[in-house]
Amino acid sequence: MRRAQKARRFVMDITVAIDAMGGDHGPHVTIPAALQALKRHSEINIVLVGLAEAIEMELRSHGASVGPRLRIHHASEVVAMDEQPQSALRNKKDSSMRVAINLVKSGEAHACVSAGNTGALMATARYVLKTLPGIDRPAIASTLPTLHGKTYVLDLGANVDCTAEHLLQFGIMGAMLCSCVEHKPNPTVGLLNIGSEAIKGNEIVKEAGELLRGSHLNFYGNVEGNDIYKGTVDVVVCDGFVGNVALKASEGLAQMMRSFISQEFKRNLFTKLMGLAAMPVLNAFKRRVDHRRYNGASFLGLNGLVVKSHGSADSFAFGFAIDQAVEEASNGVLRRIGEQIAVDAHPAMVSVS
Amino acid sequence: MRRAQKARRFVMDITVAIDAMGGDHGPHVTIPAALQALKRHSEINIVLVGLAEAIEMELRSHGASVGPRLRIHHASEVVAMDEQPQSALRNKKDSSMRVAINLVKSGEAHACVSAGNTGALMATARYVLKTLPGIDRPAIASTLPTLHGKTYVLDLGANVDCTAEHLLQFGIMGAMLCSCVEHKPNPTVGLLNIGSEAIKGNEIVKEAGELLRGSHLNFYGNVEGNDIYKGTVDVVVCDGFVGNVALKASEGLAQMMRSFISQEFKRNLFTKLMGLAAMPVLNAFKRRVDHRRYNGASFLGLNGLVVKSHGSADSFAFGFAIDQAVEEASNGVLRRIGEQIAVDAHPAMVSVS
């Protein structure tokens, strides 16, 4: 079930700016995904940002054209997938990525989505939108599947060195994101550590545990790596180095297990027949662990909503990133984070840390 | 294929001390595993350490008894699985764990194996055996399956705060372990990071990259989380916090994927029949990702060989931990680490860091 079907919306007429040129496949992926999203969400408008000619050509190939809910905003440059963030920031002021973010800044769009270069997207978003008051550093949050649903995990790679205060801020942002999008009034927050006891971990993590315990969040305590997939808590907080490694190790393991299953079924004629017979069940399993359904990482802590799609996403996966942006815009994520940060993040303390 | 069958041995007549009381199941697991190991390895002797009565009773239940290759060394105390490491160290001087380590110290055993409390085992091993010259901190190393074989990963949780020099030492120890046990003359070493470029990561990791690049190791460069399971390198180096989270996240994900497969096959009568038909293939897959085959973590950097089994191991899994100890003792791991540390670890620099 796509997320759009279950949401209770607070804001109508959402406009999403899409970096049409971003990602490994550019318009071939972003445009069909945008067209599908317009069908799924009757209340949204989409602005396709990028080279007008390329966008129009792709629209034509789908028998589609601009209209009241779909428009094109021309941007003359494209940020390359391997471009240095600072170079993109300095030299590509009319890139599709930058212009899409500008539309969020000016209020013409409620959120933007890009499958472009992560570093450039974060640097540009931070430069254009700035961070929310009380937030030192934006974080990258995404959901991972669990035995019973999903867990929000942050940070997934934006910050390789975090203080305890940063981890507290991540906890607040993750809890508000989960609360708004999943409609959970008081989501549980766990601190990723190497043991469940409060005395475990390094000094920063121990101090972060104290700060989280003293906050208004529903703090569960320490969780371990396996708790991510057990679904022990709604939100898992960690620094970006640890989060990134855990995420990528998981991707690697899932890929390996899929290869093993496939190899075992291809071993000989007999096992191939078994594989054919079991196909419906194997397909149901594949659907359940399909990482495309978890595509769409939120850049949290910025003064505007930015969702990052995997660069290699296909249009099915990119659609989930658009849905994530729609959900966040519809459910007031920005406002909720701002309110909770004011209560819990002690901006004065943070700014001197 | 069990590892014992493929090894080229340099040392004969290995004696392994086994903490017979350690782990969730104590002698019920350790004794049958020891008896099987004696059958597998004609060149080894085993000393079972623990409460003599309990050990004798378990031996009798298997129709076995002591003999020239199997003896009992009585120890009157047992370290509880949840006991504080410092308490075990101070108060349980006649514990099965401590006495097994003492046998390594005195040279009566070439290695010891315990499924007991990890913290107590590390604290006791470090206190009794001390670290090798040039090594600041012992690390925990284990193998993980890859698409084509296995990767050695360290540290898996002994050190939550590491300097660049510690990471270099881990690289040396991991490479020598892999070289000795896998008979690879020049194993590749990767540094776990959040990107492949040398500029990625935090300051400690960048500095560790420089040290590894300047060492005599076959340094590959940075690797990411997914490279662990791709088998990109033979040895992956990381701090204990990151390694522990990556390992446990992997365990959690593997468990979740197994549950999903099982749930999908149990969904209805039709899928149950599919499951029965595909059973041989599913069993082959399960065998391939059976974590019991990867049981046996090496405590490296101590002046003696200590192998830690999972606390919940069954006798099949515990047997792999015994095999690991036999492999390390037979192939001169201690000597090789000492030699390479003298070449690469700059003890003077390490001691002031």
- pLDDT tens for B5-33 read 444 444 568 999 999 999 999 999 999 99
Question: B269-273: long-range contacts (C-beta < 8 A, 24 or more apart)?
Answer: B271/A280, B271/A281
Peptide bond into B323 cis (omega under 30): no
Do A147 and B256 make contact, defined as CB atoms within 8 angstroms? yes
pLDDT on residue B346: 59
CATH at A190:
3.40.718.10
Structure tokens at B242: 């990151």
Do B252 and A280 make contact, defined as CB atoms within 8 angstroms? no
Do B160 and A244 make contact, defined as CB atoms within 8 angstroms? no
Instruction: Specify whether A152 is located in the same domain as A72.
Output: no
Residues 6 or more apart whose CB falls under 8 angstroms from that of A288 comprise A145, B260, B264
- The 10 Å CB-count burial string (b at 16+, else e) for A232-265 is bbbbbbbbbbbbbbbbbbbbbbbebbeebbeebb
Instruction: Specify whether A128 is located in the same domain as A148.
Output: no
Amino acid at site A302? L
Do A160 and B201 make contact, defined as CB atoms within 8 angstroms? yes
**pLDDT tens digits for range B124-149:** 999 999 999 999 999 999 999 998 89
- Within a domain: B337: no
Question: Mean pLDDT, to the nearest integer, of B110-118?
Answer: 96
- Within a domain: B48: yes
Instruction: Count CB neighbours of A65 within 10 A.
Output: 10
- B277: which chain A residues are within 8 Å (Cβ-Cβ)? 274, 277-278
- Within a domain: B101: yes
The CA distance from A76 to B61, in Å, is 80
State the helix-helix crossing angle for A118-129 and A96-105, rounded to 10 degrees.
Answer: 30
**pLDDT tens digits for range B44-82:** 999 999 999 999 999 999 999 999 999 999 999 999 999
- Residue B214 DSSP code: T
Instruction: Specify whether B5 is located in the same domain as B110.
Output: yes
Residue A161, chain B, CB below 8 Å: the answer is yes
- Alpha helix ranges (H) inside chain B: 27-40, 52-61, 85-91, 96-105, 118-129, 164-182, 203-213, 225-230, 240-265, 269-277, 279-288, 315-330, 333-344, 347-352
Instruction: Specify whether A124 is located in the same domain as A164.
Output: no
Do A284 and B278 make contact, defined as CB atoms within 8 angstroms? no
Q: Which helix (H) or strand (E) holds A244?
A: helix A240-265
Instruction: Specify whether A280 is located in the same domain as A153.
Output: yes
Q: Count of A–B CB contacts within 8 Å?
A: 173
The CA distance from B47 to B16, in Å, is 6
Instruction: Specify whether B121 is located in the same domain as B152.
Output: no
Residue A160, chain B, CB below 8 Å: the answer is yes
The CA distance from B137 to B343, in Å, is 18
- Within a domain: A50: yes
Do B238 and A229 make contact, defined as CB atoms within 8 angstroms? no
Residues 6 or more apart whose CB falls under 8 angstroms from that of A345 comprise A134, A135, A165, A168, A169, A172
Mutation target vs B (from A256, A266, A269, A289; most B CBs, 10 A cutoff): A256
Of A146, A205, A256, Cβ closest to residue B256 = A146
- For chain B, give the mean pLDDT: 91
Nearest CA in chain B to A247: B225
ipTM of the complex: 0.86
Instruction: Specify whether B120 is located in the same domain as B42.
Output: yes
From residue B316, alpha-carbon distances to B15, B212, B284, B309 in Å are: 20, 37, 17, 11
**pLDDT tens digits for range A151-187:** 999 999 999 889 999 999 999 999 999 999 999 999 9
pLDDT on residue A350: 44
**pLDDT tens digits for range B233-262:** 999 999 999 999 999 999 899 888 888 888
Mutation target vs A (from B192, B245, B291; most A CBs, 10 A cutoff): B245
Instruction: Specify whether A221 is located in the same domain as A249.
Output: yes
**Chain center to CA of A192:** 19
In this structure, what are the phi and psi dihedrals at residue A61, rounded to the nearest 5 degrees?
Answer: -65, -20
- Alpha helix ranges (H) inside A130-224: 164-182, 203-213
- Within a domain: B346: no
- Within a domain: A347: no
Helix, strand, coil percentages (3-state) for chain B, rounded to 5, are 50, 15, 35
Residue A149, chain B, CB below 8 Å: the answer is no
pLDDT on residue B6: 45
Instruction: Specify whether B284 is located in the same domain as B141.
Output: yes
Structure tokens at B188: 């590749």
Instruction: Specify whether A111 is located in the same domain as A157.
Output: no
**Chain center to CA of A197:** 30
Q: Which residue has the higher pLDDT, B320 or A160?
A: B320
- Rounded to a whole number of angstroms, the distance from the CA of A270 to the nearest CA of chain B is 10
Do B245 and A250 make contact, defined as CB atoms within 8 angstroms? no
Nearest CA in chain A to B251: A226
Residues 6 or more apart whose CB falls under 8 angstroms from that of B302 comprise B125, B126, B129, B130, B131, B132, B138
| Band of residue B282 on the pLDDT scale cut at 50, 70, 90 | confident
- B190: which chain A residues are within 8 Å (Cβ-Cβ)? none
- Within a domain: A340: no
Of B249, B257, B281, Cβ closest to residue A225 = B249
Q: Tell me: pLDDT of B176 over 60.
A: yes
Residue with tokens 């290699």: A312
| Distance between start and end Cα atoms, chain A | 43
Helix, strand, coil percentages (3-state) for chain A, rounded to 5, are 50, 15, 35
Walking along chain A (353 residues) 10 residues at a time, the average pLDDT comes out as 46 89 96 97 96 97 96 97 92 97 97 96 96 93 92 93 95 96 95 84 92 95 95 97 94 87 84 81 81 92 97 96 96 92 65 38
- Within a domain: A352: no
Residue with tokens 């867990």: A151
- Residue B131 DSSP code: B
Residue A246, chain B, CB below 8 Å: the answer is yes
**Into how many domains does chain B fold?**
2
Instruction: Specify whether B171 is located in the same domain as B195.
Output: yes
Residue with tokens 């399971």: B229
The rounded radius of gyration (Å) of the Cα atoms in chain A is: 21
- B278: which chain A residues are within 8 Å (Cβ-Cβ)? 265, 274-275, 277-278, 281
- B285: which chain A residues are within 8 Å (Cβ-Cβ)? 260-261, 264
- Residue A79 DSSP code: -
pLDDT on residue A98: 98
Classify A307 as helix, strand or coil: strand
Most trustworthy range by pLDDT among B186-200, B258-272, B298-312: B298-312
Mutation target vs A (from B155, B196, B281; most A CBs, 10 A cutoff): B281
* Domain residue limits at B185: 136-295
Q: Is B198 exposed, middle or buried (0-12, 13-18, 19+ CB in 10 A)?
A: middle
CA-based nearest residue to B29, from B306, B346, B320: B320
Instruction: Specify whether B290 is located in the same domain as B312.
Output: no
The CA distance from B233 to B219, in Å, is 9
